[in-house]
Structure formats: structure tokens, C-alpha cells
């Protein structure tokens, strides 16, 4: 009697693509995050505020622009930020 064939192995999961953001600021006070978002909007730059719980229990309000698929996609936005007097830090996040 021949041994039964094993079913084919499932394909490996697709890698989760990292999302890139430009973080302009992070604040404990949500009003400060809203203020920064408003200043960016006046400069014609759309940003979002995201709440994040830190390991020590504090809540931070991050002001970010994105997501971007690759670093090259954020270069025009970085130029606009610099012209408006803002600086951003590149951060990676997995969905």
C-alpha cells in the first residue's frame, strides 16, 4: 500500500507592507495637535492627528502626513513643509 500524499503546503503569508508617514509633532495636549494641524492647513498641507497609547500609560497625539508607499513619494511634501517652515520625521508603521 502506498503512503498517502501530504496536501500541498499553504503559500507563505504576503509580507505586510510598511506605511511611511511624515510626523510633524507629538503632543500630550490634543489642543496642541489641533493647533499644528490648523497651521499646516493654512500652509496648504493636509495632516491628521492620531492618538497613541504609550507603554507608560500616557496618551500622545501625533500629527502626521501620509501614508506614503515609498520614500520617494514623500519628497514633494517634504519640500513644501520646508518652504512653510516645518520639519518632519519619517516614521514607519505597519497596518
Name the domain count of the chain: 1
Q: In this predicted structure, what is the pLDDT of residue 94?
A: 76
What pLDDT, in 10s, does the model give residues 48-72?
999 999 999 999 999 999 999 999 9
Flag whether 9 is in a domain.
no
3-state SS, one letter per residue, for 6-41: CCCCCCCCCCCCCEEEEEEEEECCHHHHHHHHHHHH
Low-confidence ranges of the chain (pLDDT < 70): 1-16, 95
Which domain covers residue 78, as residue numbers? 19-93
- pLDDT for residue 24: 97
pLDDT of residue 17: 72
User: Strand 48-53 to strand 19-27: parallel, antiparallel, or no bridges (unpaired)?
Assistant: unpaired
- Rounded Cα distance between 95 and 85, Å, is 30
So what's the pLDDT on residue 93? Answer: 87
What CATH number should be reported for the domain holding residue 54? 3.30.70.1070
Is position 50 within any domain?
A: yes
Residue 14 has a pLDDT of 58
Amino acid at each position: 500500500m502506498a503512503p498517502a500524499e501530504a496536501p500541498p503546503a499553504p503559500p507563505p503569508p504576503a509580507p505586510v507592507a510598511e506605511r511611511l508617514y511624515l510626523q510633524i509633532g507629538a503632543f500630550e495636549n490634543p489642543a496642541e495637535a489641533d493647533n499644528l494641524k490648523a497651521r499646516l492647513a493654512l500652509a496648504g498641507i493636509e495632516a491628521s492627528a492620531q492618538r497613541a497609547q504609550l507603554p507608560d500609560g500616557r496618551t500622545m497625539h501625533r500629527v502626521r502626513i501620509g501614508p506614503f508607499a515609498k520614500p520617494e513619494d514623500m519628497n514633494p511634501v517634504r519640500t513644501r513643509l520646508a518652504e512653510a517652515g516645518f520639519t518632519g520625521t519619517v516614521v514607519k508603521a505597519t497596518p
